[in-house]
Structure 1
């Protein structure tokens, strides 16, 4: 008998033995995920038999990684003190590195990793994320996002790898493998593929909107990354805010139970998204197949009370409760939490270490896509006498990293441990580097202007173009357009570096600039941009999305390159120039 089969059988026996001893209160507790602040007092972990703790925007567990670990150790000890002694899962939105911890290695967002097309690199990035997540006390991450974005108006485009199903599927496998490794090892975590299913393909790119696709289209275009994730042994799947055929995905039994669990044979945890219980029909989501509920922002009491009532009335079968708890226990055994429930303090030294940052810097280099290079202006000669660097994005690691960086909505300030684009330029260039942050100076003697423009950070619906709480747009701001035109008007050779979480309509700016680079959201290693600007490395990145020519391209439900009224993109998916080899 193979070792894997024998271990699986041993785990199943342990799960069944434990499940048989549990009370209903203990079972419902295991199905509960809460924050370590606001939702509970510490003793509620034992009183309510809580199964999982999530860390999100709000008070941090401490001032440094040792304090984070100590805080989670305290909570774990409370869980272990209960009659059943079942350890906690600690979850975190580690979207592009352990991005909730200042000083961690922050990778380019998935859209940039999609531009690399490098599965081995994605696997390395995921493994580093797992190690730094464990170093701060977590054993579960809510990544990767495996959506297939259909409209750049969606505020989460940057969380997904590509509009290509094939590329997304390849990188999903790499990400799951990198995060989970040998799942019981101290430096790995349980991964989560999300959001099941159709989150990136809602009409007009609305977060939580309607996905009006045929079952055939869902199966062919959206399902393959999930199929690959299940084959790769992913431990968790998160349900989506969108509706499919008018049915909220959280309550879609045909998709969660019939398709995901039965047809695809997924045996891990289906977890709700934020406040999914109160938003989408309470016990409807349990009967649909959701196993663990984010009982946050006031949902805890409602969840426990209404689920108990549903079980008493027969609305929710005990078989469904046992299935949910069985899946949760199974993953806790697979993670080795019953034997090793506490984080390893030896991992703390790995957070933001040089070797991790070098992998992130490589990811930056390989993510850059060269869209234009008139008269071979690039690569720049390091001996250029005078370089003007323009714009606030040039010297701001918060702006260059996007949402889900230190804070949920990102930051507009520099954060610990990061390097900026101008840091890299200053290190690479032998001549004078002048910084014009406001883009208004006159530099008639400048040899080249490197103009850094882009979006401000955003996350989730705050990034939806057209949402009432969003100021996002599909074009550059007037101020950033002026940065470019101001230097073009001076006759200075101009390189534009665009930092954005999605392709923007920059047709006019592309015409004006001598060279134009899509840099996506590079993360903490801004020096990687200069590595390629000055020719130490060639451009290898290719567009993971087709690039729009006009805002008119988005007047229909979906953007360029899809089956409805297909507008021709300015650049097709897969486009990307390289330096000419002499």
Structure 2
């Protein structure tokens, strides 16, 4: 094509169906680099900067897109088109077309109009959208050990994403989770980096439809993202967004190992992690983002940030952070401050803070990713007009649900079986437990809403099947009978009771735990009830990680780790009835002790990674010890449910604060509502102020505090008890903005015999407190925030 004709095409002066073809026509003799360089040379500085900015759909309109020409945008876990997180699929497609039209509208002076791309967290299917197929979370897929299955899941997920007009998936998570107290453990395939590498690469291939670097993404497929680079599964105490300590070479060998496999599979994007490595935030870690990822690993694609992750770099804010770009970030995920960030980056390029060469390098990578997605070709179409675009029948299609059902069956891990499984034809079964008919609980977090669960009912999941519905149909087909009782009651004695129970849904930091002990007794009570009545039992445990539950293992005749199977509960029935073999194997070590500590490897494991029974292996589990100091710990409430405990006095400086209310000594305390009227306190500290709680008795033990901190401290904060002062600034900084958290103070960091607990802030601070308890915390439990 002649240069003049090419320029006309890029400027939008050709007549086509869409507002303007956004970029280059394919020229066989022209290299990828030459095409991108030609585009880059004709872009304004303002539009180059805009390519590096990614706002969320809740905060950017098509009109603003037309003005600013942001390179990409995303929907958050609680975001949906036009402010409706339950918007029908057609609305997602409609918004995608509107954003395409806005970003490709012709520009003046022959400048190319570069299309914006939409990114989403489709971490176990396209589960932000009502009606999409809900696959098992990664922890379940890791238990299948089936790379081909994962590849097929990736292709099915890509087709459903493309059907709604979205271009980019922030998946797979290739974290190598090492501390299962971490709230994202279920996003990890395994504690074994080799397993994570294999399955992560397979999902990349399925999503993108290609198996090597440099090639074009397949028609009807989407851009994949390996995340979060790196170490997110290895933070101290399993704290989300925390710090990873250790020898750099050893950390790299463990936590960075999956990335070369993803790069070899052709992954086009890598997402930087929130966490720090040896105290340095990954979003600003040039030796790792540029030196390791770009240099030694040879990654040439886009490095994208996580939700305002750049703002966690010291000296940065949401709207001002040249450090991240200079360290190696290419795209800022800045949900709500896009305009301000655009202004600051533009100014920093103009004044030389950011070299033009670095800007052009980052924009080149963004353009290359779009070129490989086919979006810079002449005649590139609106999202609704592409392969799979607008084919909304793909969402939850029978073919995709069949893949999900297969994955559910293969992910079930049989840990104990005294001969009750597989269920016999003609058996009368009782299905008990509230979770059995709760699709939202079986699906877990990142399902329609960020945290999942809450107010979601089965009506929110058209076409999906609960575990109960799958068992009911399977029992009928086997000539038997099934009855469902959420409370576990029954009129006629069944042959077998299947008890479904487990963790409630959560995502990210909301799922962080302080220990590895499952304390909820709903399932335990039912299992013990049926055992006492002489009814054979099968425990089906829903969870995002292995947990200590010796009591339930003792009480059940068969025990199945079901993980978070998603929306095709019939897959559970397929395994329980023996329609599919019991092939699931643990991707994570299962803890033997209840000391609350993580387990990786045989030491301390009740069941080692790779364990799982097949049918015919009816090996009983020897009776397990059930005593657990964490469960039996005595607790003395110093403050709870809006009241100070007996004998507890609160003071601001030297001024008494009756029932932890009022002002004095630079402290102001007022009642706020957490779960009920004024059941918590908001404590405002003036600079240098101290809040003290004192016990008139002789209490001993550690402390547990339930607290919330909206903003990170601006100055040091200390906690004093038993005559020892500890700096808690770093822990509070990590916890800021993450909702209600739990702080544990044990003898590991402070004496256990203090009769007072004091918090001092050198700067202004607002801290919310819901509970302070003195507790006998077992030895070995770490201090954490």
On whether the aligned pair clears a TM of 0.5, the verdict is yes
| Unaligned runs of at least 5 residues, structure 2 | 1-26, 211-215, 619-785
Q: Render the CA deviation track for 1:283-340: whole Å, top value 9, x for unaligned.
A: 111111100011113x223312322232233222111111110000000010001232
Secondary structure in structure 1 of the residue aligned to 2:498: strand
* C-alpha displacement of 1:7: 7.0
Counterparts of 1:332 and 1:423, CA distance in 2:
43
Q: In the alignment, which residue of structure 2 is the partner of 1:459?
A: 507
Match of 1:410 among 437, 442, 452: 452
Q: In the alignment, which residue of structure 2 is the partner of 1:68?
A: 92
* C-alpha displacement of 1:341: 4.0
Q: In the alignment, which residue of structure 1 is the partner of 2:121?
A: 93
Q: Render the CA deviation track for 1:113-158: whole Å, top value 9, x for unaligned.
A: 0000000000000110011000111110000000000111100000
Residue 20, structure 1, aligned to residue 41, structure 2? yes
Q: Render the CA deviation track for 1:157-196: whole Å, top value 9, x for unaligned.
A: 0011000111111111111111101444331000000000
* C-alpha displacement of 1:552: 1.0
Match of 2:402 among 358, 364, 367: 358
Flag the 1:117–1:380 CA change in 2: closer, same or farther, 3 A: same
* C-alpha displacement of 1:59: 3.4
Match of 1:378 among 421, 425, 448: 421
Scaled by the length of structure 2, the TM-score of the pair is: 0.69
RMSD between superposed Cα atoms in Å: 1.8
Secondary structure in structure 2 of the residue aligned to 1:387: strand
Flag the 1:190–1:398 CA change in 2: closer, same or farther, 3 A: same
Trace 1:401-480 onto structure 2 (pairs within 5 A): 401-411=443-453, 412-414=456-458, 415-429=461-475, 430-439=479-488, 441-442=489-490, 445-466=493-514, 474-480=517-523
Residue 213, structure 1, aligned to residue 246, structure 2? yes
Residue 55, structure 1, aligned to residue 101, structure 2? no
Could you tell me whether the CA contact under 8 Å between 2:440 and 2:452 is conserved in 1? yes
Secondary structure in structure 2 of the residue aligned to 1:462: helix
Q: In the alignment, which residue of structure 1 is the partner of 2:604?
A: 568
Bigger proportion of residues as helix: 1
Match of 1:521 among 561, 564, 582: 564
Residue 266, structure 1, aligned to residue 294, structure 2? no
Residue 288, structure 1, aligned to residue 288, structure 2? no
Counterparts of 1:521 and 1:218, CA distance in 2:
28
Q: In the alignment, which residue of structure 2 is the partner of 1:254?
A: 287
Counterparts of 1:252 and 1:94, CA distance in 2:
27
* C-alpha displacement of 1:482: 1.6
* C-alpha displacement of 1:245: 1.3
* C-alpha displacement of 1:398: 0.6
Counterparts of 1:407 and 1:255, CA distance in 2:
33
Secondary structure in structure 2 of the residue aligned to 1:570: strand
Higher relative contact order (CA 8 A, sep 6+): 1
Could you tell me whether the CA contact under 8 Å between 1:465 and 1:474 is conserved in 2? no
Q: In the alignment, which residue of structure 2 is the partner of 1:154?
A: 182
Counterparts of 1:219 and 1:36, CA distance in 2:
35
Flag the 1:312–1:105 CA change in 2: closer, same or farther, 3 A: same
* C-alpha displacement of 1:433: 1.4
Secondary structure in structure 2 of the residue aligned to 1:201: coil
Stretches (4+) displaced over 4 A: 6-9
Q: In the alignment, which residue of structure 1 is the partner of 2:193?
A: 165
Residue 44, structure 1, aligned to residue 96, structure 2? no
> Which piece of structure 1 moves more, 426-435 or 202-211?
426-435
* C-alpha displacement of 1:9: 6.0
Residue 177, structure 1, aligned to residue 198, structure 2? no
| Unaligned runs of at least 5 residues, structure 1 | 1-5, 467-471
Flag the 1:512–1:436 CA change in 2: closer, same or farther, 3 A: same
Bigger proportion of residues as strand: 2
Could you tell me whether the CA contact under 8 Å between 1:451 and 1:483 is conserved in 2? yes
Q: In the alignment, which residue of structure 2 is the partner of 1:469?
A: none
> Which piece of structure 1 moves more, 60-69 or 490-499?
60-69
Counterparts of 1:21 and 1:519, CA distance in 2:
55
Counterparts of 1:350 and 1:478, CA distance in 2:
40
Residue 30, structure 1, aligned to residue 74, structure 2? no
Q: Render the CA deviation track for 1:53-96: whole Å, top value 9, x for unaligned.
A: 20121233574323321221011101000422101111000000
Could you tell me whether the CA contact under 8 Å between 1:409 and 1:457 is conserved in 2? yes
* C-alpha displacement of 1:27: 0.7
Could you tell me whether the CA contact under 8 Å between 1:454 and 1:476 is conserved in 2? no
